[in-house]
Chains A and B, each alone.
Chain A
Amino acid sequence: ETGVTQTPRHLVMGMTNKKSLKCEQHLGHNAMYWYKQSAKKPLELMFVYNFKEQTENNSVPSRFSPECPNSSHLFLHLHTLQPEDSALYLCASSQDGTSGYNEQFFGPGTRLTVL
């Protein structure tokens, strides 16, 4: 138990569906992250929020839309996804996003399958 929860744990959706992933952290952190993890590939940073402000968007397609209503919650809204978007989506949090020793705590992830 890392103090970061994600729901749902598994999601199967068609290419025309709209769904949302939810992340909540109970650690009092100020930075939150979305990562994509595909088999045998490095973790890909998608979005970073620092003190509720989006500070990074690593050329992510617009079919992924993040939302950070407060420092404890992070959402990833999904629409018209492609089969290649099937992956494990990990949420993480850290004390802040602008210092060196900044351990990230990860949630268990959402296993997404796009049909």
Chain B
Amino acid sequence: GQNIDQPTEMTATEGAIVQINCTYQTSGFNGLFWYQQHAGEAPTFLSYNVLDGLEEKGRFSSFLSRSKGYSYLLLKELQMKDSASYLCAVMDSNYQLIWGAGTKLIIKP
């Protein structure tokens, strides 16, 4: 079967760094996406990785290791507005997104 695992909830302090991990087992791989979803709002795109390595975009970075079926999202200089759920999704061989249940990130002052 297809499976995406990520922690249910994490807590971090404003100004700090947090890493949200995602492991996956899917039938085929056409890229891995990270989305951010604030409570009551639509998911919004953060990053896309299809090759191994680190992609940096401002305060957010995303890493992929295809051989390990592993990705992480790194958030630096945390701000209160970063409190949200972070969704990991893998595009399978049929170009459909398989989603994790999301990681709720709580930022404390």
Contact = CB atoms under 8 A, between A and B. Distances in A.
Interface of A: 2, 4, 40-45, 48, 56, 90, 97-109
B95 A102 contact: yes
Main secondary structure of the interface of B (DSSP, over half): loop
Contact of B41 (A4, A42, A45, A108): A108
Contacts, number: 51
B45 A100 contact: no
A100 B4 contact: no
B42 A90 contact: yes
B48 A103 contact: yes
Nearest to B42: A106
B43 interface: yes
Interface in B40-98: 41-45, 48, 50, 87, 89, 91, 94-98
